[in-house]
Structure formats: C-alpha cells, structure tokens
Copies of this chain bind each other. A is one copy, B any other.
Amino acid sequence: MKLPKKERQSRLKQKIFENPFVTDDDLAKQFNVSVQTIRLDRMELSIPELRERIKSVAEKTFEDEVRSLPIDEIIGEIIDIELDESAISIFDVKDEHVFQRNGIARGHHLFAQANSLAVAVIDDELALTASSQLQFYKPVQLGERVVAKAKVSSKDQRRTTVEVQSYVGQTLVFKGDFNMYRSTTQLKGDE
C-alpha cells in the first residue's frame, strides 16, 4: 500500500507544486504515512511550510505593481501601458513553452502574448478578437525574452486595429495585426 520513499518524495514535490495550499496533515492522509514522515520529507526536499509557501506566492503578486491594472488574465508581464494607445509586455520562454525536441517556442504562446496585449490595450469593457493576420519571422528559443509592442493603429465605433510586433533583442520574430471588437454588447468575434 505504502510507496517507497523516493517515489513518495517525488510525488510529494509534485503535489505541493500543483497545490501549495495543502497541509502536512492532508498529505499524510493522502500518502498514508504519519505527519512526521511528511515533515522529514519536506526537510529533505527543502520545501518550506504551508504558511511560508503561501506567503511567497502572495509576495510575488504583490510586488508586481501592474497588479492594480485590470490585467488578471494576461500572458506575459505588462511593463508599460497607455490605454487606447500602446502597450509593452515581456514574456520569458521557459521549458513549458517549447517543443521538447528542438527547444523552439510554440507559436500559440507568441500569439497568446500578442493577443492578450491587444485585449489589454483596449480601454473598453469588452474586447474580442474578430480576425488577425500573423507572421512568424524567426523561431524563438528556450530562455529568450520576447518583448511585444502593441500600437493602436485605427479606431472607429465598433472596431479597433492593434498592431503587435514581438522582438527578441533587436530581431523581429513575430508580427500580428488584430482586428478587435469593442463595446459592452457582444455580437461576433472571439476574445
């Protein structure tokens, strides 16, 4: 019934990573061992206690000044924004964003960063992407930092056009033209 130590510890690590809000007691019950064993495991794995874990998660958000902006659903970190004008975000390419076999960032992450930024820059209750044209100029590699710059290029009653250009260093790697619906009533289009 009980797992070997190594197995338990690696699962423990995973569990806590997935849900840092879990107590030692919960874990002890899940793994069918004593609380003490869980604590020994945490020591060995250098995993801090529940409250410290929660605190560090909270500190991360809190330190981000951008948290006050209505940006709770953004891919990448917004570092500058002028509503209905322009915005800049950065996105660090990590393991989970790339193809395992060649370390190239998957396209939808670049799209997601650009599209989120296009949504964020629009100063309206609702912003949905109606259509877009994308160009992927150069593969982005693991570890690179993508800087996306959005500019509102035109605006009428219902629609706004946002141009997003993403760079790695000085190199243009991606460009997207987003045609966005605005306003409070949703008719067509997505996001």
Q: What is A's interface to B at a CB cutoff of 8 Å?
A: 20-21, 51, 54-55, 57-62, 64, 67-69, 71-75, 96-97, 99-100, 102, 104-112, 115-116, 126, 128-140, 173-174, 186, 188-191
Contacts and interface: CB of A to CB of B under 8 A. Distances in A.
Nearest to A138: B188
The copy count of this chain in the complex is 2
Chain A interface helix/strand/loop/mixed: mixed
Contact of A72 (B55, B64, B132, B188): B64
A140 B51 contact: no
Contacts of A57: 58, 61-62
A136 B126 contact: no
A108 B106 contact: no
A71 to B, nearest CB: 6
Given A131-B136, A136-B191, A99 B73 contact: yes
